[in-house]
Amino acid sequence: KAGVTQTPRYLIKTRGQQVTLSCSPISGHRSVSWYQQTPGQGLQFLFEYFSETQRNKGNFPGRFSGRQFSNSRSEMNVSTLELGDSALYLCASSSTSGAYNEQFFGPGTRLTVL
Amino acid sequence: ELKVEQNPLFLSMQEGKNYTIYCNYSTTSDRLYWYRQDPGKSLESLFVLLSNGAVKQEGRLMASLDTKARLSTLHITAAVHDLSATYFCAADGDSGYALNFGKGTSLLVTP
């Protein structure tokens, strides 16, 4: 079974621009979560989607948004980029069919904001 | 606010030695997850611990969960260089949909 895929793998943007990241979950997984990883703050939860609905959102400004499509693929968007948005953005998928929330992570998108 | 704290944050150990990484969490969730991350790579799921007293082992790694103490441990037995990586523990958030991660333990195994 193919794992979680993310595109693009690397991005370089300048301040003020916007960016869209894409994530395709493991086949059959309907929950997709996004995390930001930085050396200073570690791994922080951004948001989670299930059946095209955002069920939970982390403590990030409104510049960070996301959506999920009917095929469970998800995108996240960051508008008006700031230097501090430079990070590894990880997408994870989960089946949610069991009693726990084991999440499987994609390779990540490395975003650099100049 | 849910807190997940790991210690130590950095660990350098010799091959063949044993050591334990500790993970304390503040949520009432009884589910605890361990992940491994190699430099420049994504997170790999190692263990899912679902109940008090749960113990899981894979090779030289053994994870356990004490929900009363809100403590999980990752024990490394007879370390080898291939175990060098960063290890994260995570607990379910209040909503059950988000994972709250510790800061990670950066492990270096030296000859």
β-strand pairing of A64-68 with A53-57: unpaired
Residues of B in contact with A34 (CB under 8 A): none
Which residues 41-100 of A have a C-beta within 8 angstroms of B? 42-45, 48, 50, 55-56, 58, 90, 92, 99-100
Q: What does residue A30 show for φ and ψ, rounded to 5 degrees? A: -110, -10
Three-state secondary structure call for residue A84: helix
Q: Tell me, what's the pLDDT at B31?
A: 86
Q: What does residue B84 show for φ and ψ, rounded to 5 degrees? A: -60, 120
Q: Is the pLDDT of residue B9 over 70?
A: yes
Contact call for A90 and B42, based on CB within 8 A: yes
Q: Is the pLDDT of residue A101 over 80?
A: no
Q: Tell me, what's the pLDDT at B30?
A: 73
Q: Tell me, what's the pLDDT at A98?
A: 59
Closest CA to A67 of A34, A94, A89, A35: A34
Q: Is the pLDDT of residue A88 over 70?
A: yes
Q: Tell me, what's the pLDDT at B97?
A: 78
pLDDT in tens, A26-84: 999 999 999 999 999 999 999 999 999 999 899 999 999 999 999 999 999 999 999 99
Q: What does residue B34 show for φ and ψ, rounded to 5 degrees? A: -120, 135
Query: How far apart are alpha carbons B45 and A98 in whole angstroms?
Result: 16
Average pLDDT over residues B76-91: 96
Name the minimum distance, in Å, from the CA of B75 to any CA of chain A. Answer: 21
Name the minimum distance, in Å, from the CA of A16 to any CA of chain B. Answer: 27
CA atoms A2, B107, B4, B64: torsion sign: positive
Q: Tell me, what's the pLDDT at B82?
A: 96
Name the minimum distance, in Å, from the CA of A81 to any CA of chain B. Answer: 23
Element (H, E) at B36: strand B32-37
Query: How far apart are alpha carbons B6 and B17 in whole angstroms?
Result: 20
Per the CB < 8 A criterion, the answer to whether B80 and B27 are in contact is: no
Query: How far apart are alpha carbons A11 and B95 in whole angstroms?
Result: 32
Nearest beta carbon to residue A101 from set B44, B88, B96 = B96
Contact call for B92 and A101, based on CB within 8 A: yes
